[in-house]
C-alpha cells in the first residue's frame, strides 16, 4: 500500500521559517494537500493541489511538490501555528495521510 512519510517533529523560532517534508513514491505526479490539526479541534485545510491556499489561510503558508517529496513551508512562523500537520494524497482512489509532523514554536 502507498505510504507518505513525514518527520515526527520540527522546531522553529517565532518569525523564522518552518519546512515540513512529505515523501512518497512518485508523489510529484499526484496532488498533495496539507492539514493543520490542533488539540481538541478538527483538521483545517491549509494547502490543496500542492500549492493553493484556501480562502482565509494566511499567505505565510505555502506548498510545493516535485519528484518524491512535497513540502509545506510556514514563513514568519507564529505561536498560533504550533500544531500537528498532515500531508495527504490519493493513490488508486484511496486516500492516504502522512505520518504527521508536530511543529513546535520555541
Partner 1 sequence: EVQLVESGGGVVRPGGSLRLSCAASGFTFDDYGMSWVRQAPGKGLEWVSGINWNGGSTGYADSVKGRFTISRDNAKNSLYLQMNSLRAEDTALYHCARDLIPGAVVTDAFDIWGQGTMVTVSS
Surface-to-core class of residue 91, CB atoms within 10 Å of its CB (0-12 exposed, 13-18 middle, 19+ buried): middle
61-66/69-74 β-pairing? antiparallel
Binder among 5, 21, 48, 68 for partner 1 (CB under 8 A): 48
To partner 1, the closest distance from the beta carbon of 94 in angstroms equals 6
Q: What is residue 57's DSSP assignment?
A: S
Binder among 37, 64, 68, 82 for partner 1 (CB under 8 A): 37
Q: Nearer to partner 1 by C-beta: 73 or 99? A: 99
To partner 1, the closest distance from the beta carbon of 2 in angstroms equals 11
63 in contact with partner 1 (CB under 8 A): no
94 in contact with partner 1 (CB under 8 A): yes
101-105/61-66 β-pairing? unpaired
Q: Could you tell me how far CA 36 lies from the centroid of its own chain?
A: 7
Amino acid at each position: 500500500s502507498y505510504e507518505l512519510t513525514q518527520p515526527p517533529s520540527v522546531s522553529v523560532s517565532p518569525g523564522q521559517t518552518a519546512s515540513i517534508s512529505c515523501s512518497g513514491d512518485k508523489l510529484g505526479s499526484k496532488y498533495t494537500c496539507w492539514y493543520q490539526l490542533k488539540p481538541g479541534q478538527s483538521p483545517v485545510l491549509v494547502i490543496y493541489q500542492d500549492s493553493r491556499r484556501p480562502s482565509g489561510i494566511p499567505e505565510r503558508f505555502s506548498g510545493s511538490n516535485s519528484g518524491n517529496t512535497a513540502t509545506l513551508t510556514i514563513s514568519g512562523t507564529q505561536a498560533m501555528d504550533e500544531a500537528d500537520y498532515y500531508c495527504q494524497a490519493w493513490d488508486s482512489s484511496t486516500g492516504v495521510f502522512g505520518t504527521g509532523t508536530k511543529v513546535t514554536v520555541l
